[in-house]
Structure 1
Amino acid sequence: DISDLISEKPARPAGGSSDKKIKENNSKEEKSSDEKGSEESERSSSVAELPEGVEVITMPRLSDTMTEGTVASWLKKEGDKVEEGDILAEIETDKATMEFESFYSGTLLKIGVGEGESASVDALLAIIGPKGTDVSGVAENFKSAGKSSSKEGKSSNEEKEEEKQNSGTDSKKEEPQKETSSVKKSESSPSTNEGRIFASPLAKKLAEEKGINLRQVRGSGENGRIVKSDIENYQPATGGGQAYVPVGTESFEEVKNSQMRKTIAKRLAESKFTAPEYYLTVELDMDHAIASREAINADPDVKISFNDMVIKACAMALRKHPQVNSQWTPEATRIAKHIHIGVAVAVDEGLLVPVLKFADQMTFSQIGAQVKELAGKARNKKITPQEMEGSTFTVSNLGMFGITEFTSIINQPNSAILSVGAIVQKPVVKNGQIAVGNSMTVTLACDHRTVDGATGAKFLQTLRQYIENPVTMFV
């Protein structure tokens, strides 16, 4: 009877080590559950131990591809009061440098990532809470929890890399003096012409705006990296002279727009954005015009200006080229049979354009007298609306201010405006010889809807004939 023997001991599998394996498995399961429980309790304790009113701010994910961020600069420092909406820091991502604002109010109790340093997304960035709150334990628990959770997801390759880094750290510890001197060198010496310059995108942008050579800047960031504050605090080497420190207060004065200013803005904007204008420029020989003016002004009762001569020449040229003396309408082009020349006059509030009616019928002296009268009325605010209506062509002259060449915006409904520059002496070729000549540049702005390029060019040819030979205007 062997029943007693069978009931006393169960049969063992081959190998005889089943009890040992069971114990080992049970031990591993208990250890694993203990570790998980430890980690969970560690995380929960960090949350549970968070003092009242304290908020932990982590590195934000500012773009879809962002895995870590670099603090370019802190706009608040530890101990500063923070209001909701205040900008805490500037954070560099893989795409741009962005401002990071606070969603809480309180005191900045702890900065977790220094300027120029990088941290992964969700790493401790800062702690905000009531003033005087001790958050040293919170910061330490946060770091511990972060380390343990990061270990859970590490692959074997990452563990090998960590071991490699640790072994590198051990070897560095063996030569502390050598490492220290190397770090000091990178921090204290400016970048040289050899090798790559390590600088944040924001620092590079500021350096470019200020014209600073990054190779002359000492970086205060990690491993000598140049950050925003390095550029802001950069002082170029000088020969012992004191660096200029800008002082002053930025300010503005708001001047209410007058009705004249509003009208000028409205009309010129309409002209600029509705008329397809183009410009034609010619240089005129003024030697004969100067001689003619001197001869005319020799009469003590007559005084004319070069501008008077230009107005008369324009009126005469418009007779031969009536297409330039036109107005555009959606239904038809109106060609004026009369010639009314508008003359731009600068006043304190802006610009007025008195009109010389039937200018082609006036003499030089009549033009000069009427321009003087109307300009005086305009400057004294006594000109009437009727005296500024009905122009068919406009002349603008800035030559008295030393302006040699410029373009004007068409004074609609006119189709053209002539810009007149100053008379200047310059070397010119006359009869195959270089001589000193007197030249004046004029530019005609034309509305292409009514005046084609060839038409405008022919008008300037006629104008040239009249101004370069003023006697022809008397024929």
Structure 2
Amino acid sequence: MATAAQKICSRLSKSSVAFRFPSLLRSEVRNSKCHKYLQSRQISASPAVYGTIKLDMPSLSPTMEQGNIVKWHKKEGDTVSPGDVLCEIETDKAVISMDTEEEGILAKVIVPDNTKNVKVGTLIALMVEEGDDWKNVEIPAEAVKPAAAAGSAPSPATATSSTAQTAGGAAAHAGADLAGDGHLIGPSVKKLLQEYNIQASSVSPSGPGGALLKGDVLSYINTNKLDKKAQEAPSPAAPKLASTPPPPLAAPPVGPAAGENYVDIPLTNMRRVIAKRLTESKMTIPHAYATIDSNVGAIAELRETLKADGIKVSVNDFIIKASALALQRVPRINGIWENETLKLSPSVDISVAVATPSGLITPIVFGASYLSVDQIGNTVKELAGKAKEGKLQPHEYQGGSFSISNLGMFGISDFTAVINPPQVAIMAVGTSRSVASMSGNLSKMKVTLSYNSCAISEVEATRFLEEFRHLIEHPQTMLAGTNLDTAAEAFAF
């Protein structure tokens, strides 16, 4: 019996289930023969070991490699129930609330509020089961190693000789590329510290993760009214040759300090990921392009008819609907490229590019081909509002089978867009423009399809654009069978 219990204990001690599902551990260990075996051998089985739940930085999007802890909603000692929000995490896409399915007490917050660039998988907090001593929870070694290493590292100032310190401290700054907290110091910041003989530890940093920025040093200089010449080491006194000193020379005009007119803007996680993915897309996907002109005059007239009946829809709503129907008719465009294979999507899920202060994000209109034009408009408005507030949930922007980027409302006539992998195509939409013709002025709109030439041929790309143009120039067909059909019936026929 002892041998069997030893085997069970050995498996449990090596299993991560013991840390992620403590309720399972309580029922399977504390009330089992294994636990009795431990007691008979007088082996400690304290709650600090068995009841501890590790909370790691989660991966909240496929492209997320690190995130920022914005705010903790629970404090140490608070009771946590399944579904409770623990903290808010800023990913490369949005600010997302992190909840848990565990039950217990939040024992230790290892990564506090406003911590930047926390890597996925990093231990951020510890929980214990109810009734356990949360104040004396055992902190894993991997959580305290970075702090211990930072505390034991000698500062650059102590490595400088006393002779160099007496000379003015410039030599100490010349060889120091790290601040006291371990952050790198940029060349421009280092130059200012040398010129004004300032210790980096004297300036309060405001950059990401506590990094020292050029603006921090300039603010310190202006606040303390420092002067370059006042900070330099005094030169040896020269012997007096005359009783009357010569008249002082006029001081040259003092200009702005170096870099005073520049502002350092930290790169957001979203823009960092966008740059990485766009670079990978252009380097790994053979982009091909096809452009077509469409007459949008009929859409403008139909919008006025619908508006008179109290129905407000935009040109962009018609563009999404026309794209969805064209994708149904040319299904090869509606797919993803995975493992050198084109996989067709069973539904038309269109990603719509939305600009936010942090960068570009593409919320998805799911099943766009089965939605009416006004339903598409309401969905896009809701998603765009949530995107600009940073409240999109992962399922609202992950996936999609086709993308649309519309810059027509900004007056851009035409442009090309970069494919958003694993999708195989994206359509760039420009503004409408007036074009003279034999029948009068026409309102033309240019769209450019960027497509993966490995997955899509020129013939298929052309067929898709022709179907799109036909739908745009005959918008009545997009209303058939919807609640807008009756409202537009008089105009359509």
Q: TM-score range by the shorter chain?
A: 0.3 to 0.5
In the superposition, the TM-score normalised over structure 1's length comes to 0.46
- After TM superposition, the score normalised by the length of structure 2 is 0.44
